[in-house]
Structure 1
């Protein structure tokens, strides 16, 4: 019962700490020492009430343990209060009573040393703390045990069972005191570890939040996946990129799902296989893929901790669609520049000799027999064809600013109508017009626009068989006027659409490959664009878009 009473403050103190009610420890024990002193006072009361004598004379009261421990751990004020309370409890409840017994049983003679060692006690390590407690506890307990002998009372013989019991009481008290200090320090170590882990956890959470904020600020599409290819995290930019292709997807729908959900339906099988190989290879790599009309550059790096195998990968996706388009346009510009240089170099070198040849052929034709006229005509036609190719070169290489005037696009189409219909009749084809009557005036170079329309219309007619239908349609689309030239031919293969406007590229057996580049050059000089849509077996649509200024903008 005495041992339980003496240790009761430790259980109360442990319960208090488990509830998280103690303040954080400093180098002189807790900032809040009130509960420890209260617990020690409770143990002193409980132990003193249960005090008795051992072998009839030796005072048995372990209240000295919570009293000494409380004084050593507390500050000067709390220590004095606890010492006073211990003296009062001993005077009220101890047996036998008397001042001399109270002085010996409370160990008051050791209080100066006890208070003197209290400051050092708080600063040393565990084993040194136990030694300091033993330094003050052992003399006190020795006095308590030897008091009957000093007073001449034959309470126990030197080698009797009673003396062994008293000796056991002495060293048991020392052992319990050491264990109490050990458990107090262990409890505080747990609190420190818990506080440290809490601090580490808070710092980790803060660092994670900072990293998340950084990834959301940096304009990169970032996503991480585990070793099985499942998505574990993505930033806001990546979420927006995913919603570009899957508008109904939320972050919760994306997380913890395989990456194949995002790429399986967006890319072809070959590209998907390439991505799978990169994912599971777990090495630094990059690839360029096409997702519909978008082009993405994908960078992948393994997530690795030390020498352990990679635990997933991080993927950075960069939208390079605009860069690819610019690169394509620059390629066209370079090719057009080359054509211009060639045209400038050969114009005077070829046209002048051709003019001489053509003139002499006409003189020779007049002096030759009539049966040779057909041969002369063939040669003249070929010379005219060669001269037409040179003219195309010159038009394609033309870099000067076109002279433009405000004109109605319908007027240009109507002027070309008889020529287009005549050409279609010769081929057994028909022409349909679907013109929007409310088109605004456009700033156009009439000669160049006529050339563009004729080239596209003749391309459409050459792509059709007899009874084919060529449709010329105009419409408004936002702030642009669009001219659509449709044919009902066999269409253009998808693998050739990207090269249609490259100089010298042609799908015709006798084409020069300069017609469509010339059309693109004319459209660009008018700040316009040309788009091609073709379905195999159903025909092709060329859409030429011209921007226009609203009346209020022009007035301003």
Structure 2
């Protein structure tokens, strides 16, 4: 049994004091790095900072190390050397290796230690450099494994040096040196592991900051996209909080409540918007949603437009809690117009079916009746001929109505030839002027000389122009002026028929082209419907502008084929 003398215990106590100081110095670069590495933008300079910090720690470890009576010292400069080399990269590892070799050179007392230093560096440096790239690509567990292997090699090298120096010592001195070597090996591995662990914590902290920053940026981008979508959506969108106050309103909604701006409506009750739009509601729909109703839909009419509106609650995480109300409004005016157009086409189809089924059945008896009326007219006294003429005129009028039925109902393919609208009007002017003279009216013709040709059916186009002209004449008094214009536009040829009559009320304009709808006392309601049918067969559209007391303008646009302007 070995008896430990007082000098031995004093050596152990001194060794532990030195060990504590060496551990603090060895860990100093890591703690400095944790304080310094607090911002993601410093990532680029981490290897430089770690290299400088570890170099300083190596010099401090050397400065504060002491040599005992047997020539061995307790020096943990290998810890910052190892940490700095692994995290600093190969350039830093080369610099630190040079510093380590230089400091050890000054401490060599025996010639054989030079050889041992040369062999140690020659063996250890290639192993260290080969592990650096793998160290950076590994996870924490892999990095600890690499650090453990490198520490084991250092322990073996240090143990070899100590073993060489044991010759000639007493057993007690050998135990003391062995004890110091064991503590050194344990502390070398433990402190290296601690340094790697806390360094990785610093990197993970910055990684979390970067991930948090990326998530935050993605969240902000998604919020910005959603905000952009809401503000530029073709829907009216309004958000209200749990107290019914407006928290957000998109741009389209603001156009409906002009001149109020966004700042004028935020934090106000939703009823402010309804009042500005002059919409009368039986109750506040937002308040009804806040009281527990799941969904409300309403159809609002505003300035001649139809709005489909929906109110529904915005739920929080707990289903029973209501965070606010979302209002969405959709302008369905165009959809309603399309629906009305479909209804009109269905009525036209019904008219066509009626006309096709009864035309021949009516025409044949009427032809027989007209023939007998003409025969009776020839054989009747002269004072009764006027009666027969009235009957014949009414039969002709009934026959004209039947012809309009047929023209409106036929969805046939008409033959078209490129023609000039001006030439067609020139052929019709005598008829139009004669009709105007009989009514005591004037006709003003304004033709565009550079009019382009476009495919048309001359017979149908004459019927269209005569119908529009006679409608205009019938709407004016005996001093009225009918103006007929042609315009050559880049993509269309335009015909305008303008009268100076009393105009058409706005509520009647929408139904003007419906079959059987007329504003005349003796009209059939088929003339304008027939005009619309002709225009559509000629790839055109017809538009009416009218103001009470100032007359009416029929604008017919015939679109040119693409090859003429495309």
Correspondence 1:389 to 2:401:
yes
Q: Is the 8 A contact 2:33 2:50 kept in 1?
A: no
Correspondence 1:356 to 2:368:
yes
Correspondence 1:269 to 2:277:
yes
Task: Describe how 1:91-106 pairs up with structure 2 within 5 A.
Answer: none
Correspondence 1:475 to 2:475:
no
Q: Which residue of 1 aligns with 2:248?
A: 230
CA separation of 1:215 and 1:225: change in aligned 2, threshold 3 A: closer
Task: Report deviation, 1:22.
Answer: 10
Q: Is the 8 A contact 1:469 1:488 kept in 2?
A: yes
Q: What is the distance in 1 between the residues matched to 2:25 and 2:190?
A: 25
Q: Which residue of 1 aligns with 2:112?
A: none
Task: Describe how 1:278-427 pairs up with structure 2 within 5 A.
Answer: 306-307=317-318, 309-310=322-323, 329-365=341-377, 372-427=384-439
Q: What is the distance in 2 between the residues matched to 1:385 and 1:543?
A: 28
What do residues 126-170 of structure 1 show as CA deviations (whole Å, max 9, x unaligned)?
A: xxxxxxxxxxxxxxxxxxxxxxxxxxxxxxxxxxxxxxxxxxxxx
Correspondence 1:501 to 2:518:
no
Q: Which residue of 2 aligns with 1:111?
A: 184
CA separation of 1:418 and 1:222: change in aligned 2, threshold 3 A: closer
Task: Report deviation, 1:10.
Answer: 6.8
Correspondence 1:430 to 2:442:
yes
TM-score, normalised to structure 1's length?
0.58
Q: Which residue of 1 aligns with 2:123?
A: none
What do residues 305-340 of structure 1 show as CA deviations (whole Å, max 9, x unaligned)?
A: 53364478597979995x766655544433222211
Q: Is the 8 A contact 1:284 1:299 kept in 2?
A: yes
Larger mean CA deviation between 406-415 and 6-15 belongs to 6-15
Q: Is the 8 A contact 1:430 1:470 kept in 2?
A: yes
CA separation of 1:305 and 1:202: change in aligned 2, threshold 3 A: farther
Q: Which residue of 1 aligns with 2:162?
A: none
Q: Is the 8 A contact 1:221 1:318 kept in 2?
A: no
- Structure 2: gaps spanning 5 or more residues: 1-17, 41-46, 67-73, 84-143, 159-171, 241-245
- Give the SS at the match of 2:510: helix
CA separation of 1:197 and 1:47: change in aligned 2, threshold 3 A: same
- Structure 1: gaps spanning 5 or more residues: 24-29, 50-62, 86-98, 123-180, 233-238, 247-253
Q: What is the distance in 2 between the residues matched to 1:259 and 1:319?
A: 26
Q: Is the 8 A contact 1:484 1:542 kept in 2?
A: yes
Correspondence 1:202 to 2:214:
yes
TM-score, normalised to structure 2's length?
0.57
- Give the SS at the match of 1:499: coil
Q: Is the 8 A contact 1:428 1:466 kept in 2?
A: yes
Correspondence 1:456 to 2:529:
no
Q: Is the 8 A contact 1:71 1:114 kept in 2?
A: no
CA separation of 1:549 and 1:21: change in aligned 2, threshold 3 A: closer
Q: What is the distance in 1 between the residues matched to 2:408 and 2:333?
A: 29
CA separation of 1:438 and 1:272: change in aligned 2, threshold 3 A: farther
Q: What is the distance in 2 between the residues matched to 1:501 and 1:207?
A: 54
